[in-house]
Every structure is written in C-alpha cells, then in structure tokens.
C-alpha cells in the first residue's frame, strides 16, 4: 500500500510561551522552537504500522520553507520511506483551501492508495483533510482512531460525541484525518537521524505541480486572518471554605442565587 502522510512544522507549545505581535497580525516567531505537529506524528506512526503489516511505502510531504526539511527528515528517521518538500514563495499566505489544493496536486503526481493527515494542524481549524478529499473526489473520514485493512477497503473507528465509537467501512483510495491516541509514536534515535541525514529529498514548486501561482497565496485566499488576540482574563474562581456540610450549604445557596436551583 502506498501511503502519503501530510505533515507540518509548527511551534512546539511545550517549549515555547506563545505571544501575539503588537497589532495582532501574527504570533512572535523569533527564537521559537519548532517540531512536527502532534497529530501528524500519530498519522506517520499509523502509516508505518500499516506498511509493516501489508507492505508498501510511506511518503511524508510538507508545505513550507526549506526549514521544514528538519520535520521531513525526523519522520523519515522514524521509519517513513520517502520525503517530499513542497516549497514555493507563491504558497505563502494560502488559506486552508489553497493548502489543500497544493497537497491535491502532489497526490496526483504520485500513485497513492491512502492519504493521512493530522486531525488538526491548520491553526486548529481541522479543515485541510476534508478539503483535500473533496478536491480529489475521494471518500473521507475525520477523527479516526482505528484502522483495519480489508480487501480494497478499510474498517475504521471514529471518535464521536460523548466518548462513543463509530465504526465504518471506507473504500480505497481515501483520505483520513488521524486523532491522537490511535497508537504510540515510536522514539526517534540518533542512529535513525544519521541514517537519513544525507538522503536526497525531492523539492517541488508550483510549476512542478502544474499549478497557477496566481491562484495561490494571499491573492487566492478566500479566508483571510484579521487578528490574533489574547482574551481578557475573567474573574477568578471563588473558593468555598469550611466543613463538607458548610461547603455544601454555601454551594446550594450560590446555585439558588444564580438560578441553577429553584
């Protein structure tokens, strides 16, 4: 099975204190520590496990600058067979649909049975996977936390409201957005990093993908970000003191006062 996994280089929230730039145009990016998007890491691990079971290869692709190469090599060190860099100044400033269009062009250049994305990466919007499937006219499922291989199709589990599990069959080829917790991503050691350090990674720009750069970037974006801001802090929590009976009585009085109890 030939699998393409879409990955993204993002600020590591565990290593950075994210601050908004004055004016709200963006976050402050100077001196940020970057890593692979968490959801994408689970998607790569799942692709590797699938190929271990049924054969094939895993390709990881990313859209970004040359700095994104570190993310691709890290996932190759993890066990992905191939990497693909989608780099062009024309890609910068693309909205979710633009990103999906770039990835769709890359998919069409290959011969893939399955495309995996993280459930979230695009600033939390969770939109690229579905848009990519729509552009390819492939079936799609989101929040996938179980994949079983069947003849020409997959049996997948999805996380839905209330902690419930939904089981579906989906035909190949398809696009799946992977939820965290589907597996346990493996540790990437120095040996693996050294093994892929000199491997050549193909780079494709808009022309190589057969795309018109005029419809990409800010000019082609139908959704434009207007502002980043930190919501003002609300009032602090009220801590109830006393014995259990006293706290219970105070809580009942508060609920009655606020209309929670009649």
**CATH for 99:** 3.40.50.620
209 part of a folded domain: yes
Low-confidence ranges of the chain (pLDDT < 70): 122
- Give the end-to-end CA distance of the chain in Å, rounded to a whole number: 61
Look at residue 122 in the predicted model and tell me its pLDDT.
57
- The domain in which residue 165 lies consists of 2-220
Residue environment code for 17-43, b if the CB has 16+ CB neighbours within 10 A, otherwise e: eeeeeeeeeeeeeeeeebbbbbbbbbb
Does a structural domain hold residue 236? Answer: no
- What is the pTM (predicted TM-score) of this model? 0.85
Has residue 121 been placed in a domain? yes
Whether 45 maps to a domain, the answer reads yes
Between CA 13 and CA 162 the distance in angstroms is 27
Encode pLDDT of 144-195 as tens digits. Answer: 999 999 988 999 999 888 888 999 999 999 999 999 999 999 999 899 999 9
In a domain, 237, yes or no: no
Domain annotation covers residue 66:
yes
Q: Say how far apart CA 117 and CA 234 lie, in whole Å.
A: 36
Q: Give residues with Cβ within 8 angstroms of 257, minimum separation 6.
A: none
Structural domains in the chain (count): 1
Query: What's the pLDDT at 196?
Result: 94
pLDDT at 210: 96
CA angle 215-218-60, nearest 5°?
75
Residue 159 lies inside a defined structural domain of this protein: yes
Q: Is residue 243 part of a domain?
A: no
Q: Supply the pLDDT for residue 15.
A: 78
Give the pLDDT score at 238: 82
Give counts: helices (H), strands (E), the chain: 7, 11
């Amino acid at each position: 099975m030939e699998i393409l996994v879409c990955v993204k280089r993002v600020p590591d929230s565990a290593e950075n204190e994210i601050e908004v730039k004055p004016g709200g145009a963006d976050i402050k990016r100077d001196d940020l520590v970057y890593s692979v998007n968490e959801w994408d890491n689970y998607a790569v691990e799942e692709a590797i496990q699938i190929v271990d079971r049924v054969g094939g290869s895993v390709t990881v692709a990313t859209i970004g600058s040359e700095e994104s190469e570190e993310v691709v090599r890290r996932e190759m060190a993890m066990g992905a067979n191939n990497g693909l860099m989608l780099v062009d100044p024309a890609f910068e400033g693309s909205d979710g649909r633009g990103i999906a269009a770039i990835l769709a062009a890359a998919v069409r250049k290959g011969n893939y049975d399955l495309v995996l994305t993280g459930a979230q990466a695009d600033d939390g919007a969770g939109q690229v996977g579905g848009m990519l499937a729509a552009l390819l006219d492939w079936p799609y499922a989101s929040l996938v936390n179980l994949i079983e291989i069947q003849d020409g199709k997959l049996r997948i589990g999805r996380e839905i409201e209330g902690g419930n599990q939904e089981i579906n069959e989906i035909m190949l080829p398809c696009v799946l957005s992977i939820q965290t917790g589907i597996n346990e991503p493996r540790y990437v050691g120095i040996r693996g990093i050294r093994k892929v350090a000199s491997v050549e990674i193909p780079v494709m720009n808009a022309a190589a993908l057969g795309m018109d750069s005029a419809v990409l970037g800010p000019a082609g974006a139908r959704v434009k970000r207007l502002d980043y801001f930190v919501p003002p802090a609300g009032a602090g929590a009220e801590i109830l003191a006393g014995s259990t009976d006293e706290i219970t009585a105070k809580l009942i009085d508060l609920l009655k006062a606020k209309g929670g109890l009649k």
